[in-house]
């Protein structure tokens, strides 16, 4: 079977998600392709994956960059060509328009290659302040695009059965989906956020985009039962929806052979870990308020905030005692140490959908404290693998943290239960994904 993953943005978290899928399918013996942007994090993907980089994007397309029609057409042409095993045609057609690009080639397995674009984006001021991203300025229908496939004879006589998986949001996915539908090629699309995160400037546009994806994709993959149920309530057939937990780890492919051994070396220190970008919707201010309320009820605990972001926008004044801030992008080595040594992971989120950090904590046998935002409470068995606390209520969070961090043996017991939760769902997820791809492949 051939699986073509499409991720047109450089968003690191989405590439971590895509790499987990692509790497596992390649290890299972499938022919795997990735159509993405030139700035993708190559170290996340196994060398066996054939990578095609027809564009150089900096955003998810919900900005002025989304108006770059030449790049849109290159992206669509590349996906169609990979699906139809006609990549050489794309290389000839696009080379003339891109002679002044980088001139390099991204080559994957089988010797298939296409030109890569110039990495220069200096002429695109992609700040959202200059561009009002309202739905009034964007028509998210496919009526304005010519959806002909006259230049591509999409016969697949010499190809394995193929399906396309769009793994992350990008404005251009709608056009590519429409082209694939006209070519009778099948596609599944992951919908990560049915609800935009609070404060997202393109929130109304994302809701319209989601509805178009629901219409154009053959199949939808979601990572929470609450979102599966919402799609069904909106009229999407249950047969068109697959639901699995979000289970990928935060590591590159070079760690695949070592991570299990590293997880077995986990210890339990009286430390709560907040991991990831510091954003308001993640409840950082509530967490710090709760930590300040704990006083001396816990014995020498620590709270580590690990991730990039402007903390000054979320918290004014001095930090409470015992708080350590690692305000930078966390590399694999540092992340491994943090997850190995912490006592628990805390996610006091206010507007999240789901998070792969919970299963990552379980993998390292660490329990989780989470607020019931989105599908997060589906991932935590209260009192068994962690705790579900009252949302936006620092006193409840403070009590839970104080009690948890003074009982390290209990952290170990709940962490072991979390690892059992992870292993069972990872095994089930493998089977579900293979069935989904096999059912869609044409």
Q: State the average pLDDT over residues 421-433.
A: 97
Residues 260-424, CATH architecture: 3-Layer(aba) Sandwich (3.40)
- pLDDT value of residue 154: 46
Q: Could you say which DSSP state residue 256 is in?
A: T
Provide the residue count of the chain: 442
How far is residue 312's CA from residue 346's CA, in Å, rounded to a whole number? 20
- pLDDT value of residue 129: 34
Locus of tokens 């790497």: 23
Q: Model confidence over 101-117: pLDDT tens digits? A: 333 333 333 333 333 33
The answer to whether the beta carbons of residues 35 and 55 sit under 8 Å apart is no
The answer to whether the beta carbons of residues 216 and 209 sit under 8 Å apart is no
How far is residue 46's CA from residue 225's CA, in Å, rounded to a whole number? 31
Which of 12-26, 80-94, 274-288 comes out lowest in average pLDDT?
80-94
Tell me the CA distances in angstroms from 36 to 9, 23, 33, 61, 293, one per residue in order: 7, 15, 10, 13, 46
Task: Provide the β-strand partners of residue 370.
Answer: 347, 388
Complete DSSP assignment for 61-126: SSSGGGG-HHHHHHHHHHHHHHHHT-HHHHHHHHHGGGTTS---EEE-GGG-EEEPPP---TT---
Q: Could you say which DSSP state residue 329 is in?
A: P
* Environment class of 282 (CB within 10 Å of its CB; exposed 0-12, middle 13-18, buried 19+): buried
Q: How confident is the model at residue 195 (pLDDT cuts 50, 70, 90)?
A: confident
The answer to whether the beta carbons of residues 442 and 186 sit under 8 Å apart is yes
Q: Model confidence over 241-277: pLDDT tens digits? A: 999 999 999 999 989 889 999 999 999 999 999 999 9
Write out the two tokens for 88: 């050489």
Task: Provide the β-strand partners of residue 303.
Answer: 272, 323
CATH 3.40.50 fits 2-132+147-243, yes or no: yes
Q: Model confidence over 206-233: pLDDT tens digits? A: 899 999 999 999 999 999 999 999 999 9
- pLDDT value of residue 248: 95
103 — alpha (psi -120 to 50), left (phi > 0) or beta?
Answer: left
- Give CA torsion, residues 187, 193, 199, 204, to 10 deg: 50
Q: Model confidence over 298-340: pLDDT tens digits? A: 457 999 999 999 999 999 989 999 999 999 999 999 999 999 9
* Environment class of 66 (CB within 10 Å of its CB; exposed 0-12, middle 13-18, buried 19+): buried
- pLDDT value of residue 257: 86
Residue 207 dihedral angles phi and psi, to the nearest 5°: -65, -45
Task: Provide the β-strand partners of residue 302.
Answer: 271
Write out the two tokens for 358: 């919970």
Structural domain boundaries in the chain: 2-132+147-243, 260-424
* Long-range Cβ pairs for the range 395-401 (8 Å, 24+): 395/290, 395/293, 397/286, 397/287, 397/290, 397/346, 397/348, 397/369, 397/371, 398/290, 398/291, 398/293, 398/294, 400/369, 401/272, 401/290, 401/291, 401/294, 401/298, 401/301, 401/346, 401/369
How far is residue 174's CA from residue 177's CA, in Å, rounded to a whole number? 5
- pLDDT value of residue 171: 95
| Percent of the chain whose predicted confidence (pLDDT) is above 70 | 83
Q: Model confidence over 379-405: pLDDT tens digits? A: 999 999 999 999 999 999 999 999 999
How far is residue 4's CA from residue 36's CA, in Å, rounded to a whole number? 11
| Percent of the chain whose predicted confidence (pLDDT) is above 90 | 74
Q: Model confidence over 16-25: pLDDT tens digits? A: 999 999 999 9
How far is residue 418's CA from residue 50's CA, in Å, rounded to a whole number? 35
Locus of tokens 């308001």: 280
The answer to whether the beta carbons of residues 23 and 34 sit under 8 Å apart is no
Domains 2-132+147-243 and 260-424 share a fold: yes
Q: How far is CA 137 from the centre of its chain?
A: 27
Q: Does the pLDDT of residue 90 top 50, yes or no?
A: no
Decide which of 237 and 300 is more confident. 237
Q: How confident is the model at residue 9 (pLDDT cuts 50, 70, 90)?
A: very high
pTM: predicted TM-score of the whole model, two decimal places: 0.84
């Amino acid at each position: 079977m051939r699986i073509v993953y499409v991720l047109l943005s450089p968003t690191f978290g989405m590439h971590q998600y895509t790499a987990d899928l692509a790497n596992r399918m390649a290890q299972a013996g499938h022919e795997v392709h990735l159509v993405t942007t030139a700035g993708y994090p190559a170290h996340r993907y196994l060398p066996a994956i054939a990578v095609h980089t027809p564009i150089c994007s900096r955003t998810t397309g919900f900005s002025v960059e989304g108006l770059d029609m030449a790049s849109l057409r290159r992206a669509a042409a590349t996906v169609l060509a990979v699906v139809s095993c006609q990549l050489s045609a794309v290389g000839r057609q696009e080379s003339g328009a891109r002679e002044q690009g980088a001139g390099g080639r991204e080559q994957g397995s089988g010797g298939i290659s296409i030109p890569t674009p110039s990495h220069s984006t200096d002429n695109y001021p992609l700040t959202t302040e200059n561009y009002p991203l309202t739905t009034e300025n964007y028509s998210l229908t496919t009526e304005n695009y010519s959806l002909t496939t006259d230049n591509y004879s999409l016969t697949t006589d010499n190809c394995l059965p193929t399906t396309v998986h769009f793994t992350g949001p990008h404005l251009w996915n709608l056009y590519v989906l429409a082209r694939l539908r006209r070519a009778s090629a099948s596609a599944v699309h992951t919908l990560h956020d049915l609800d935009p995160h609070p404060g997202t400037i393109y929130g109304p546009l994302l809701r319209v985009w989601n509805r178009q994806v629901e219409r154009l994709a053959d199949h939808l993959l979601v990572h929470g039962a609450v979102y599966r149920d919402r799609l069904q309530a909106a009229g999407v057939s249950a047969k068109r929806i697959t639901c699995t937990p979000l289970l990928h780890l935060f590591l590159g492919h070079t760690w695949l052979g070592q991570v299990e051994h590293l997880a077995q070396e986990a210890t339990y220190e009286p430390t709560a870990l907040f991991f990831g970008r510091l954003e308001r919707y993640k409840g950082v201010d509530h967490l710090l308020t709760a930590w300040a309320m704990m006083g001396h009820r816990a014995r020498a605990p620590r709270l580590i905030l690990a991730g990039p972001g402007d903390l000054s926008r979320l918290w004014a004044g001095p930090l409470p005692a015992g708080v350590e801030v690692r305000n930078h992008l966390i590399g694999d080595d540092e992340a491994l140490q943090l997850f190995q040594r912490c006592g628990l992971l805390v996610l006091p989120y206010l507007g999240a959908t789901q998070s792969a950090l919970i299963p990552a904590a379980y993998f390292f046998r660490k329990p989780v404290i989470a607020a019931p935002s989105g599908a997060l409470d589906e991932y935590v068995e209260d009192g068994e693998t962690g705790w579900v606390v009252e949302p936006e209520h620092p006193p409840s969070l403070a009590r839970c943290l104080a009690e948890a961090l003074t009982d390290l043996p209990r952290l170990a017991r709940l962490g072991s239960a979390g690892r059992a939760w992870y292993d069972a769902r990872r095994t089930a997820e493998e089977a579900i994904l293979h069935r989904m791809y096999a059912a869609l492949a044409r």
